[in-house]
Chains A and B, each alone.
Chain A
Amino acid sequence: MTTGRHHRQQILSEVGEGGQQRLERASVAIVGLGGLGSPVALYLAAAGVGRLGLIDDQQVELSNLNRQILFEECDVGRPKVEAAAGRLLILDSALRLDARKESVRASNVQAIVAEYDLVVDATDSFETKFLLNDAAVLLRKPLVHGAVLRWGGQATTVLPDGPCLRCLFRDPPQAADIETCEEAGIIGAASGVVGSVQAEEALKVLLNVGTPLSGRIFQHDGLRGEARITTFPRDPGCPVCSPRARITDLSRYAEQVSPRGHVLT
């Protein structure tokens, strides 16, 4: 007897046959196919999430390959969405993949977020992280946030009616305080830890099992070998998810939020 592809997951009481069908019917937008998007895409595809939106406007570069395990050396120069789709289809040819070679901006975020059941933020830009947060809150979609630098990173899950990223960090850091992976460096396995946590969170939310990281932030310091979870409440004055919200309409986003993601007063 051949054991089915998802047998080991289906026999979990938390999943079962019903849960597996739920995953097959689910759709997830993965925004960013880099260090975080690589494990997210591989594990969600492996788990049998039926439809994946792969969203990234970049091409594979050699300097990506120290951590972006979705790609191969022969992919250098190819659009990431194309290379990723090829890799995922050899894992499971039954997957439905939307390869969208574009970046997420205020002008297209609504159309993208509205089309999927859940969004995974695997980007490396603060503006996009806050834009995705705002869109997820306003469109009431679950969002799994992740960020990494050097040897560590963080993840949290934003659920409709739960605390959001702006409850925790009202605005992105000032440009002068932002370090990029290019300047600061990054260890591949660090993005692997956070990306795997994001994938696990996405599966739990889709299956409606366990306790997702809603109102909790996971912080990993790989150099010290520490993983911490810290709780955070909803901010009653949150600029997007509270009754006093100033970010209220994605079609008027440019009037309400600066190009760098700061709330305009």
Chain B
Amino acid sequence: MPEASLSAEQRQRYARHLALAEIGPAGQERLLRSRVLIVGVGALGSPVALYLAAAGVGTIGLADHDHVRLSNLQRQVVHSMAGLNRSKVDGASRTVLALNPDVRVEPVEATVDEHNAMELLARYEVIVDGTDSFYARYLLSDAAYLLRKPLVHGSIFRIEGQVTVFVPGRGCYRCLYPEPPPAGAIEESEQVGVLAALPGIIGTIQAAEAIKLITGTGDPLVNRVLLHDTMAMTFREVRYRRNRACPVCGDHPTVQSLADYHAVVGAEEGRR
């Protein structure tokens, strides 16, 4: 794409990207044409939405069924008092559009579940998991694989967080965690503490990974998971491979559509 297709205003707004060898005018054009779905507009979704919007990702789908509560504002920085008790998708859309009106937001005020996941994910080229439940993590991973879409996974728990990228055929969430934790072992997320900036660290790494996938640059976190302990302030990389026996992306998959979802071992236990 020639630089001329960026407007004078866009050349100013994205000047710091145009200066980067890995982005440049062609990469910026690519970002502006891209479509990213962020599922969950909470602790992780906040920095993801802000940084992808700032970067000029042209279309951002924001999916969340929830409303903004006072206790969200301790870490969900895309929201504010102005959006209290209103839909998270609506509040986040306003913040994102005020930052960058170049962005088109597609609001999805719904829970992503086995009934709507395929249709929704199919409309985007990169999916970012900003959810906080095991059910959603397995569901997004399965749906993204079935649609052959890359998925940027991130999660936090108390003082720890992790990020990895699932590229179809190179492993999925089930390859990394074949079984959900036993139901009793999972605390309700409202009862789990989190220090304010931890989701910022994990969410911004997710945003950077999404930008790398869109622009086809750098080494995405494929087949490696970055583990972070925020109290110790350590980062550790653990490698993993596609599990040939994986029921979804293995050599002999037993799950070939989300219609089979209930047949998948662990899916129900994972529902929280």
Q: Does A25 contact B (CB under 8 A)?
A: no
Please tell me which one of the listed residues B80, B195, B228 contacts residue A91 in the complex, with CB atoms under 8 A apart. B80
Whether, in the assembled complex, A174 has its beta carbon less than 8 Å from a beta carbon of chain B, the answer is: no
Within the complex, which residue of A6, A182, A193 is in contact with B201, where a contact is CB–CB below 8 Å? A193
Nearest A residue to B236 via CB reads A227
Binds B, one of A200-208, A232-240, A248-256: A200-208
If A46-B74, A189-B55 touch, whether A229 touches B234 (CB-CB below 8 Å) is yes
Contact B196 A47 (CB under 8 A): yes
Verify B233–A151 contact, CB threshold 8 A. no
Chain B residues with CB under 8 Å of A43's CB are 75, 77, 196-197, 200
A-B contact count (CB 8 A): 240
Q: Do A12 and B193 touch across chains, with their CB atoms under 8 A apart?
A: yes
The interface stretch among A58-66, A109-117, A134-142, A159-167 is: A58-66
Q: Are A199 and B200 in contact (CB-based, < 8 A)?
A: yes
CA of A2 to CA of B231, assembled, Å: 29
B104 at the A/B interface (Cβ < 8 Å)? no
The answer for the CA separation of A5 and B73 in the assembled complex, in Å, is: 6
Q: Is the CB of A150 within 8 A of B47?
A: no
In the complex, A26 has a CB within 8 A of chain B: no
Give Cα A8 to B209, complex, Å. 27
Q: Flag whether B260 is at the interface (Cβ < 8 A).
A: no
Instruction: Return the chain B residue nearest A228 by Cβ.
Output: B235
17 contacts between A and B (CB under 8 A): A9-B74, A65-B99, A66-B56, A67-B51, A91-B77, A187-B16, A188-B54, A190-B208, A192-B203, A196-B198, A196-B201, A210-B231, A222-B208, A223-B212, A223-B217, A225-B221, A225-B224
A interface residues, Cβ below 8 angstroms from B: 2-15, 39, 42-44, 46-48, 62-63, 65-69, 71-74, 90-93, 150-151, 181-190, 192-193, 195-197, 199-201, 203-204, 209-213, 216, 218, 222-229
- Which residues of B does A touch, CB under 8 Å? 9, 12-23, 47, 50-51, 54-56, 69-71, 73-77, 80-82, 98-101, 158-159, 190-198, 200-201, 203-205, 207-209, 211-212, 217-221, 224, 226, 228, 230-235, 237
